[in-house]
C-alpha cells in the first residue's frame, strides 16, 4: 500500500504541475494575441491622439469577462485611454504614466491586486507602425476562471487516484490472505528450530514457488533431526570416555605425586648418605697429604682429593635440590662479617681466573656495612654459583663482582649483587629458561662446559627464600650480567664506625717503586680515610726520619718485598736498626708464601706479612693493631689460602677396575706429528697401536684384523673419517655383528655441530685435538679397559696447547720464545724413560714434513682449490699446535676459515705470514734441539 500510494501521489503531483504550467502558458498566449489585436486597431487613434476612438477600441474588451483593465499609452508614455471592468475602488485605477519598467519590448508579469485573492496576469505590448514605436497597450486579465478549471480537473484526478488506492488495498488484502499465511507458518517453524524445539513438518497443497520453499524447509527439518540424534549419541559416548579418562588421569596423578615424593625422599636420603662418607674420604685424604709421601703418591692423592671435592660439589647441588623439592630448605639469620665473606670468595676464585688469564675485580660501594644479619652460607652459595659460571664461560677479558646499596633505613639495608663477565653471553631464548631445573644455556651434546644444570635453579630458590629477586641481563656475544637483591638486618657496627676505629691518628707509609694510584692498597687506605704517603725504597728511611723530626711520625710502614736493588726484608732490617723508629710497625707485602721465614721476619722487626693480593680484612686488622701502640699484638703471618684446582669426576674412571692386557687400537691419522704424539700416548698406556694414513687403509685394516678401538681422524686424504666410519658400520651389518667396534673421532674442529656430525656418521665418541694424555685416557676408559692402572700422568698445571686458544698471529723473531715450552714438556712427559728421544723424533718429523705442506698450500692457493687449501691448513694447524708453535697454528686456523668461506682475497698475505712464522718456529725448534743435544 505504501508503494502504491506513493506512486499515485507522485503521479498526481506530476499531473497537477503540468496542468498548471500548461494553463498558465495558454492564458499568456491568449492575452498576448488579444493585446496584438487591440494594438492593430489602435494605430490611428495613437497617431492622431484620438482619445474617443481609443476608448471605443478598448470598449470592445467588455465582451471578454477575463479582462479587468486595459489602457493605451502614447509613445511618450502618456495615458491616452483606459478601460475598467469595475469602477474604483473595486478595481485598481490605471496609472496615468507608463511605468518605467515597460519599454519597447513585450512585458508580461503577475500582479496581485489588493482586492483579489488570486493573481492577475498583466501585459505591456508596444504598438509599432512601420517599425516605429507609436504607443503601448496594457492589458490585465484575471486568472480566477483558469484556477477554477484547474481545481475541477485536479479534484477529478484525486478522486481517481483514491479509487485506485482502494482497489490496490483490496487486491493486497486478497494477496496477503493467499501468501502470507504460508510464510507466517514458515517463520513460526524457523523460530522453534532456532530455539532448539523440534517441530512437525509443514503441510501444504501449493505448487508454486512458495510450495517449493516449504518442501525445502521440511527437508532441512528432517536433516536437523537426524543430526541431533547422531550428536546426542556422540555426546553420550564422549561423556562415558571422559569419565573413564578422568578416572585414569586421577590414578596417574596420584601415582606421579607418590613417585615424586618418593624420588625427593630418595634423593635427599641418598645425597646425604653419599655426602657423609665423602667427608670421611676428603678428611682422610687431607691427613694423608700431611704425611711423608713420594712425588707419585702425592700426585695420586691430590688427584683423589680434587676429584672428591668436585664430586662433593655435585652431591651438594643434588642435596639442595632435593631439599627444595621436599620443602625442607631453610635459611638462618646470624650476624656475620659481610666484607670478610666477599674477600674469602674473591680469594677462592682469583687463582681460577688467573689460570685462564682473566681479571677478577671486586667493586664495593663505599656505604656497604661490615656487619649484617643474614645467612652467610646461603649467600656464599649463590655467589659461588654465579661466579663459578662466570669463570667457566669466560675465556678472556674480566669478571666484575659489584655490590651496591638499593635502599637503607634504621633496621635493614637492601644490597644488589652483580656478576658481570665478558664471556659467551646468554641468548634471549636461554634467558627465559636459565633458572629452570636441569636447564643450561647450551644443552647440546657439543657443549664445551659441563654441569648438572642445578646451580642457577638452586640459586633462584635460595634468593627467594631470603626474600630477594634474581635475574640475568645482556644479549648474546656481549657477555652476561647476573644480579640478585637481598635485604639484610643491620647490627651495632657500620662502615663509618669501623673506619673510625681503624684510622685514629695512624699514619702509613707505602714503600713501593711500582705503586700506581689504581692499585688496591691506595684505594683501601683512602676509603678508610687514613693519612698515607707513598715513596720509593731509596728515600723511605729519609722520609721516616724527617717525619719523626717534624713531630708527625709514621706509625705503619708497608714494604713491598720485591724492591729494586734491595728487598723489603733488608729495608725492614735497616729501619729496625734506627732507634728513632722503634715504635714503627712494619708490614711486609709479598706475592710468595715463603719469601721469608718467621725467624728472618722477627730479626728484621716485621710485625706482619701479607700475601698479595691483599685481603681487606687482614690489612684492616693489621692497621687496627698498629693504631694502638700500647696493645701487644701477636706476631702474625697472614698467608693466602692454598689454591685447589678441581679435576673432572671422570678422572679416576680409568682406574676403577683391573683392565685386561693386549688391547689393540687402530690410529687413523695422516699428520705425521699427530701420529707420533698419539702413538706415544697410546703406547704409554700399554696399548698395542696400529696405524693407517687414510680412511681407506683404516677400512681395510678393520676388515682384515681385529681391533678393540679405532681412533679416527675426520679429515684425511683418499677417504675421510666420516666415509670410513660409514663403510665400517656397513661391513659390520653385513657380517651380522651389529654396532660392535668403538670408533672415537679425533679432530681439530671444536665448533658447534661438529660433535653431532661425528655421532651422526656412526662414531661413538668425540675428542678434540690437540688432546692431553689424561683426556685421551678418560675417553678410552669409557669404551675399553686400559691395560695399565697406574700410568704416568701429565702435570695438570700445564694447560694443553690448542689451536683454538692460540693468540692472534704476528710476525715473530727467530727465538725460542716463539715456541710454547709447555707443549714440549707435555710431549716429553708422554714417555718418562725416553721422553727426550720422543720429543726429538716428533720435532724432526714436524720440521721435515712442514715444508712440503707449505708447498702444497701455495699450489692449492694458486689453483684456487679451496677444499684442498682447507684440509692442508687444518692439518698444519694441528701439527703446529702439538709442537707449541701457537702463533703458526692460529694463522693456519685463519687460513682454514678463509678456505671454508671460499675467500682467497686475504689468503696470499696470510700464507706469506705463515711461511715467515714457520721459519721463526723452525729456528727456535732447531735451537732447542741443539741445546738438548
Angle between helices 338-355 and 376-392 (to 10 degrees): 20
Quick one: pLDDT at residue 798? 37
pLDDT at residue 810 greater than cutoff 60:
no
To the nearest 5 percent, what fractions of the chain are helix, strand and coil? Answer: 50, 15, 30
Q: Please indicate whether residue 435 or residue 149 has the higher confidence score (pLDDT).
A: 149
pLDDT band, residue 666 (cuts 50/70/90):
very high
What is the grid cell recorded at 53? Answer: 476612438
Q: What are φ and ψ of residue 417, in 5° steps?
A: -105, 130
pLDDT at residue 180 greater than cutoff 90:
no
Parallel, antiparallel or unpaired: strands 359-364 and 398-408: parallel
868 vs 880: CA distance, rounded Å: 18
pLDDT at residue 638 greater than cutoff 50:
no
Q: Which range is least confidently modeled, 315-329, 440-454, 878-892?
A: 440-454
Q: In 3D, which of 512, 522, 613 has the Cα closest to residue 563?
A: 512
Q: Which range is least confidently modeled, 52-61, 297-306, 321-330, 363-372?
A: 321-330
Quick one: pLDDT at residue 286? 66
140 vs 149: CA distance, rounded Å: 19
- Give me the percent of the chain exceeding a pLDDT of 90: 5
pLDDT at residue 814 greater than cutoff 50:
no
Highest-confidence range of 11-25, 249-263, 318-332, by mean pLDDT?
Answer: 11-25
pLDDT at residue 433 greater than cutoff 80:
no
Quick one: pLDDT at residue 242? 92
pLDDT band, residue 485 (cuts 50/70/90):
very high
Q: Which range is least confidently modeled, 25-39, 630-644, 726-740?
A: 630-644
> pLDDT per residue over 788-797, tens digit each?
443 333 333 3
> pLDDT per residue over 639-655, tens digit each?
333 222 222 323 333 33
Q: What are φ and ψ of residue 766, in 5° steps?
A: -140, 130
> pLDDT per residue over 525-557, tens digit each?
887 778 888 998 888 989 999 999 888 899 899
Highest-confidence range of 122-126, 245-249, 283-287, 517-521, by mean pLDDT?
Answer: 245-249
Q: How many CA atoms lie within 13 A of 733 on its CB side?
A: 7
Long-range contacts formed by 795-798: CB under 8 A, 24+ apart: 795/825, 795/829, 796/645, 796/647, 797/645, 798/822, 798/825, 798/826
pLDDT at residue 160 greater than cutoff 70:
yes
- Bridge partner list, 558: 510, 587
Q: Give the DSSP letter of residue 149.
A: H
- Bridge partner list, 713: 746
591 vs 758: CA distance, rounded Å: 47
777 vs 800: CA distance, rounded Å: 14
> pLDDT per residue over 439-482, tens digit each?
555 544 334 454 556 778 888 888 888 889 998 886 555 678 88
- Whether 259 and 293 have beta carbons less than 8 Å apart is answered as no
Parallel, antiparallel or unpaired: strands 507-511 and 531-535: parallel
Q: Give the DSSP letter of residue 552.
A: -
Quick one: pLDDT at residue 788? 45
Q: In 3D, which of 403, 353, 356 has the Cα closest to residue 383?
A: 403
704 vs 701: CA distance, rounded Å: 5
Q: How many CA atoms lie within 13 A of 668 on its CB side?
A: 33
602 vs 621: CA distance, rounded Å: 19
Give the 3-state secondary structure of residue 216.
helix
> pLDDT per residue over 847-873, tens digit each?
888 888 888 888 888 888 888 888 888
Amino acid at each position: 500500500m505504501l508503494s502504491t500510494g506513493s506512486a499515485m501521489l507522485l503521479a498526481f503531483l506530476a499531473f497537477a504541475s503540468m496542468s498548471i504550467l500548461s494553463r498558465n502558458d495558454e492564458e499568456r498566449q491568449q492575452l498576448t494575441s488579444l493585446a496584438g489585436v487591440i494594438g492593430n486597431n489602435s494605430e490611428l487613434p495613437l497617431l492622431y491622439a484620438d482619445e474617443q476612438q481609443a476608448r471605443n477600441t478598448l470598449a470592445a474588451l467588455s465582451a471578454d469577462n477575463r479582462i479587468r483593465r486595459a489602457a493605451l499609452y502614447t509613445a511618450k508614455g502618456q495615458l491616452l485611454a483606459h478601460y475598467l471592468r469595475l469602477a474604483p475602488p473595486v478595481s485598481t485605477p490605471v496609472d496615468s504614466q507608463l511605468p518605467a519598467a515597460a519599454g519597447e519590448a513585450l512585458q508580461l508579469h503577475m500582479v496581485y491586486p489588493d482586492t483579489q485573492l488570486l493573481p492577475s496576469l498583466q501585459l505591456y505590448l508596444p504598438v509599432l507602425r512601420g517599425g516605429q514605436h507609436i504607443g503601448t497597450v496594457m492589458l490585465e486579465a484575471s486568472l480566477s476562471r483558469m484556477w477554477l478549471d484547474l481545481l475541477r480537473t485536479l479534484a477529478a484526478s484525486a478522486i481517481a487516484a483514491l479509487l485506485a488506492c482502494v482497489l490496490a488495498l483490496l487486491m493486497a488484502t486478497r494477496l496477503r490472505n493467499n501468501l502470507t499465511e504460508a510464510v507466517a507458518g514458515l517463520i513460526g517453524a524457523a523460530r522453534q528450530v532456532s530455539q532448539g524445539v523440534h517441530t512437525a513438518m509443514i503441510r501444504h497443497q501449493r505448487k508454486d514457488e512458495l510450495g517449493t520453499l516449504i518442501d525445502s524447509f521440511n527437508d532441512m527439518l528432517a536433516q536437523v533431526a537426524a543430526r541431533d540424534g547422531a550428536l546426542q549419541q556422540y555426546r553420550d559416548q564422549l561423556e562415558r570416555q571422559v569419565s573413564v579418562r578422568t578416572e585414569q588421569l586421577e590414578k596417574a596423578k596420584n601415582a606421579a605425586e607418590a613417585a615424586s615424593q618418593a624420588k625427593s625422599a630418595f634423593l635427599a636420603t641418598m645425597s646425604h648418605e653419599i655426602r657423609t662418607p665423602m667427608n670421611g674420604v676428603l678428611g682422610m685424604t687431607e691427613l694423608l697429604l700431611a704425611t711423608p709421601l713420594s712425588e707419585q703418591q702425592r700426585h695420586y692423592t691430590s688427584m683423589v682429593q680434587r676429584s672428591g671435592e668436585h664430586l662433593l660439589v655435585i652431591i651438594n647441588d643434588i642435596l639442595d635440590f632435593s631439599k627444595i623439592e621436599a620443602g625442607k630448605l631453610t635459611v638462618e639469620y646470624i650476624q656475620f662479617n659481610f666484607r670478610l665473606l666477599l674477600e674469602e670468595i674473591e680469594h677462592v676464585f682469583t687463582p681460577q681466573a688467573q689460570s685462564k688469564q682473566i681479571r677478577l675485580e671486586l667493586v664495593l660501594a663505599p656505604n656497604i656495612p661490615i656487619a649484617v644479619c643474614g645467612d652467610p652460607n646461603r649467600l656464599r652459595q649463590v655467589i659461588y654459583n654465579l661466579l663459578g659460571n662466570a669463570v667457566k664461560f669466560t675465556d678472556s677479558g674480566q669478571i666484575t663482582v659489584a655490590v651496591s646499596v638499593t635502599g637503607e633505613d634504621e633496621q635493614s639495608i637492601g644490597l644488589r649483587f652483580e656478576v658481570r663477565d665478558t664471556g659467551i653471553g646468554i641468548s634471549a631464548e636461554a634467558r627465559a629458561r636459565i633458572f629452570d631445573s636441569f636447564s643450561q644455556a647450551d644443552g647440546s651434546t657439543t657443549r664445551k662446559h659441563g654441569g648438572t644444570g642445578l646451580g642457577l635453579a638452586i640459586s633462584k630458590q635460595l634468593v627467594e627464600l631470603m626474600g630477594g629477586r634474581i635475574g640475568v641481563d645482556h644479549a648474546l656475544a656481549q657477555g652476561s650480567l647476573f644480579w640478585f637483591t637481598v635485604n639484610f638486618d643491620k647490627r651495632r657496627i657500620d662502615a663509618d664506625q669501623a673506619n673510625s676505629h681503624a684510622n685514629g691518628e695512624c699514619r702509613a707509609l707505602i714503600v713501593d717503586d711500582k705503586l700506581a694510584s689504581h692499585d688496591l692498597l691506595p684505594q683501601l687506605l683512602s676509603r678508610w680515610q687514613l693519612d698515607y704517603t707513598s715513596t720509593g725504597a731509596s728515600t723511605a728511611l729519609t722520609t721516616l726520619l724527617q717525619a719523626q723530626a717534624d713531630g708527625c711520625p709514621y706509625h705503619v710502614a708497608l714494604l713491598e718485598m720485591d724492591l729494586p736493588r734491595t728487598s723489603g726484608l733488608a729495608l725492614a732490617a735497616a729501619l729496625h736498626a734506627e732507634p728513632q723508629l722503634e715504635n714503627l710497625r712494619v708490614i711486609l707485602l709479598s706475592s710468595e708464601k715463603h719469601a721469608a721465614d718467621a725467624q728472618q721476619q722477627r730479626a728484621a722487626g716485621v710485625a706482619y706479612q701479607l700475601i698479595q693480593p691483599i685481603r681487606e680484612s687482614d690489612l684492616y686488622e693489621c692497621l687496627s693493631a698498629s693504631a694502638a701502640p700500647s696493645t701487644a699484638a701477636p706476631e702474625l703471618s697472614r698467608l693466602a689460602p692454598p689454591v685447589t684446582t678441581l679435576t673432572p669426576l671422570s678422572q679416576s674412571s680409568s682406574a676403577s677396575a683391573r683392565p685386561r692386557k693386549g688391547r689393540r687400537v687402530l690410529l687413523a691419522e695422516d699428520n705425521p706429528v699427530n701420529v707420533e704424539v698419539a702413538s706415544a700416548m697410546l703406547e704409554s698406556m700399554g696399548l698395542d697401536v696400529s696405524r693407517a694414513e687414510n680412511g681407506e687403509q683404516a677400512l681395510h685394516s678393520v676388515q682384515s684384523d681385529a681391533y678393540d678401538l679405532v681412533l679416527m681422524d675426520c679429515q684425511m686424504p683418499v677417504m675421510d673419517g666420516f666415509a670410513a666410519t660409514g663403510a665400517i658400520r656397513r661391513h659390520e651389518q653385513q657380517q651380522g655383528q651389529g654396532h660392535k667396534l668403538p670408533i672415537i673421532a679425533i679432530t681439530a674442529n671444536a665448533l658447534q655441530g661438529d660433535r653431532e656430525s661425528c655421532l651422526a656418521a656412526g662414531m661413538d665418541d668425540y675428542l678434540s685435538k690437540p688432546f692431553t694424555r689424561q683426556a685421551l685416557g678418560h675417553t678410552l676408559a669409557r669404551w675399553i679397559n686400559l691395560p695399565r692402572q697406574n700410568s704416568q700422568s701429565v702435570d695438570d698445571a700445564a694447560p694443553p696447547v690448542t689451536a683454538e686458544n692460540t693468540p692472534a698471529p704476528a710476525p715473530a723473531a727467530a727465538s725460542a720464545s716463539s715456541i710454547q715450552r709447555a707443549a714440549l714438556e707435555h710431549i716429553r712427559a708422554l714417555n718418562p724413560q725416553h721422553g727426550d728421544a720422543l720429543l726429538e723424533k716428533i720435532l724432526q718429523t714436524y720440521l721435515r714434513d712442514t715444508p712440503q705442506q707449505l708447498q702444497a698450500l701455495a699450489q692449492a692457493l694458486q689453483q684456487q682449490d679451496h677444499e684442498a687449501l682447507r684440509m692442508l691448513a687444518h692439518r698444519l694447524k694441528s701439527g703446529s699446535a702439538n709442537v707449541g708453535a701457537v702463533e703458526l697454528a692460529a694463522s693456519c686456523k685463519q687460513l682454514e676459515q678463509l678456505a671454508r668461506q671460499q675467500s682467497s682475497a686475504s689468503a696470499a698475505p696470510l700464507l706469506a705470514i705463515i711461511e715467515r712464522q714457520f721459519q721463526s718456529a723452525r729456528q727456535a725448534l732447531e735451537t732447542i734441539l741443539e741445546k738438548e743435544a
